[in-house]
Structure 1
Amino acid sequence: MPVTTIADRTVHVDDEGFLTVYDEWDEDLGRRLAAQIGVTLTDAHWKAIRFLRADFRTRGETATIRRVSTLAGIPTKELFTLFPKKPAKKMAYIAGLPKPHGCV
């Protein structure tokens, strides 16, 4: 499993840079990951990210954009505004989770 250094700490990642160890993530690291992809986090972003983290802990897989929209109550259009172009992939990256199934 590859490792990399982000914000002066070593984390395990996959070949695309997604974190692979759930407990290596914290909100400070989330802010750093967001900055790396040009996203400035607001309360609306955190709502989606915290939902993803909690849902992953329960289900063991990263939620799809449809699941986030339906269960977290965040309209799909808003998710595309918050995380432009590839919201599911960007949300998972910032949340320190694996890329969702079906995500290219």
Structure 2
Amino acid sequence: MPTTTIDGHEIHVDAEGFMTDPEEWTEVLGKSLAHQIGIELTDEHWRAIRFLRSDFHEQGETATLRRISVVGGIPTKQLFELFPQKPAKKLAYVAGLPKPHGCV
């Protein structure tokens, strides 16, 4: 399994750069991952990230955009504003989770 180093921490990633071990993630690492894709995290970003991580631990898989909107209560339009173009994919990346099923 490939690894990469971010901010001096070696993390396990897949071929697309998504973390494969959610336990390696920290909020500091999340800030670094967001910075790499041009996102400055606000309280609203953290709300989405915390929901996604919590839901992952409960469900065992990364939530889809629809689930984040319906169960997490974060409107799809807002997710596109927070994580432009590919919100589910970018949110999963920053949250240190596997890419959601159905994302290309």
Give the TM-score category using the shorter length: over 0.9
Which ranges in structure 1 are unaligned for 5 or more consecutive residues? none
Following TM superposition, by how much is the alpha carbon of 1:74 offset from its aligned partner in structure 2, in angstroms? 0.7
Q: Shift of the alpha carbon at 1:72?
A: 1.2
**Per-residue CA shift, 1:62-98, capped at 9, x if unaligned?**
0001000111111100000000000000000000000
How many residues get paired? 104
- Tell me which residue corresponds to 2:24: 24
Structure 2 unmatched runs, 5+: none
TM-score computed with the length of structure 1 as normaliser: 0.99
State the partner residue of 2:84: 84
Distance in structure 1 (CA, Å) of the matches to 2:23 and 2:37: 21
Relative to the length of structure 2, the TM-score reads 0.99
Q: How well do the aligned residues superpose, as a CA RMSD in angstroms?
A: 0.4
1:8 shift after superposition: 0.4
- Aligned residues with identical type, % of pairs: 67
Structure 1 stretches of 4+ with a deviation exceeding 4 A read: none
